[in-house]
Copies of this chain bind each other. A is one copy, B any other.
């Protein structure tokens, strides 16, 4: 039998490293490693360089904490956007999701996660202090709390609500309920139950 079933220490190292990626099991890691072995060397260097450059050279917008190539991101730098509406999200990815809808013209604030005592993430690990300063300077604008619907998201929203309630800003949150166009038949019980409890005036 092969030593540890790996014919090569280099292969083993690569499979271990690839296997640390989320959603990539040992089998997929092996498949990816053997794929890279068959690629031209410059392609593998290109991939490796792209990963290192992303990690080491990406900047964060000094205003909203969105990732950016400059000190101010393209959204905060855009004068056509409504800078009096701040949408507070957990992650960079949430900004991209909302941008992809094309329905939002305000600016963002990326918290960098949500309050999660079990993961050791407290309010001071998030960019809440910066958010408070922004809101303080904002006057009577609007802050949309677009956080996750899980316990962590709700905890974070409540914490931020308490920090911001002393300001004249309008606090809103995302509409939740059955998906638009969804049939009742396919909704899970929690969503359906909450949608009934949170029913809205009918507008014909």
A5 and B96 form a contact (CB under 8 A): yes
Q: Does B99 contact A69, Cβ atoms closer than 8 Å?
A: no
Is A172 in contact with chain B by the CB < 8 A criterion? no
Task: Given A36-B55, A50-B13, answer yes or no on A102-B1 (Cβ-Cβ < 8 Å).
Answer: yes
Q: Which of A37-45, A136-144, A153-161 faces chain B?
A: A37-45
Q: Which of A24-32, A163-171, A177-185, A193-201 contacts its partner?
A: A24-32
Taken together as a complex, chains A and B put the C-alpha atoms of A39 and B20 apart, in Å, by 11
Please give the residue numbers on chain A whose beta carbons come within 8 Å of chain B beta carbons, in ascending order: 1-3, 5, 7-11, 13-14, 16-18, 20-23, 28, 30-37, 39, 41, 43-59, 66-69, 73-75, 91-93, 95-96, 99-100, 102
When the two chains form the complex, which single residue of B41, B50, B74 contacts A55, counting CB atoms closer than 8 Å?
B41
